[in-house]
Amino acid sequence: MDKVLNFKQGRVPLLISMPHAGLHLTPAVKAGLIPEAQSLPDTDWHIPALYDFAEALGASTLSAEYSRFVIDLNRPSDDKPLYAGATTGLYPATLFDGVPLFREGHEPSEEERVTYLQKIWGPYHRTLQEELARLKAEFGYALLFDAHSIRSVIPHLFDGKLPDFNLGTFNGAACDPTLASQLEAICATHPQYTHVLNGRFKGGHITRHYGDPAQDIHAVQLELCQSTYMEEVEPFRYRPDLAEPTRVVLKQLLDGLLAWGQQRYG
């Protein structure tokens, strides 16, 4: 199997995870997708580009190479549902719009999917776990920012238009509440954008599993509306005119994470 992830080690106690940025498909998945899925519409488009300031910030970065249509890295390995109602699983069966993802009878085999779990999901999560352990050992604490994006309107998943910035801390279980409050306060200083904490998106498996404030590991997920930085229809073009003001907020959020950690732990 080709390269399954990109990892760059940083110099500050922050890891940015990008589990849904991948565009690669396995032959079995590519052969089975319906025509509407061939353009990979449910991708977290351009997330590595949107956060390309991370290296200058000193953050570690981890991003997926394979599409979530192969295996969803933000789901638990036992595929236990994370949300009540409409959602997608470890091996997605539908598009976000509720349409079947694969042509009938052309889904990847169980054997194929076991391989995806071992060779794509496994390495991503081992890298994530090892880097958080390294950060905690070096700094005494670790900060995890799980970076996502999604179309602003998906009736099958949520009503109306999603807020622009959707912060998730698993209802406060994944990070210190004072950190979440500071991130909310940063969003509030940019009234041109809407925001919410623990709304429709409370954080997926990565936030819930790795965030452990009692062990000084604080995790936050951001589900960002794609309308804030790109065109939400094919060919899903990146829009620098939209993205640059959004990146100002993203930089402030990450600076806020680091400043909170420095203040909290010294």
Quote the Cα angle for 6-219-205, to 5°.
Answer: 70
- So what's the pLDDT on residue 41? 97
pTM of the model: 0.95
- What was the pLDDT predicted at 2? 79
Q: What is the 3-state secondary structure (H, E, C) of the chain?
A: CCCCEEEECCCCCEEEEECCCCCECCHHHHHHECHHHCCCCCCCCCHHHHCCCHHHHCCEEEEECECCCCCCCCCCCCCCCCCCCCCCCCCCCECCCCCECECCCCCCCHHHHHHHHHHHHHHHHHHHHHHHHHHHHHHCCEEEEEEEEECCCCCCCCCCCCCCEEEECCCCCCCCHHHHHHHHHHHHCCCCCCEEECCCCCCCHHHHHHCEHHHCEEEEEEEEEHHHCECCCCCCCECHHHHHHHHHHHHHHHHHHHHHHHHHHC
What tokens were used for 252? 């402030």
pLDDT in the model for residue 88: 72
What is the overall mean pLDDT for the chain? 95
d(CA 45, CA 149): 7
pLDDT for 83 equals 57
Task: With a cut of 50, list the residues of the chain below it in pLDDT.
Answer: none
State residue 80's pLDDT score: 78
Question: Domains along the chain?
Answer: 5-265 (3.40.630.40)
Q: What pLDDT sits at residue 266?
A: 86
What is the pLDDT at residue 29?
98
What pLDDT is stored for residue 81 in this prediction?
66
Torsion, Cα 6 41 84 201, to 10 degrees, reads 60
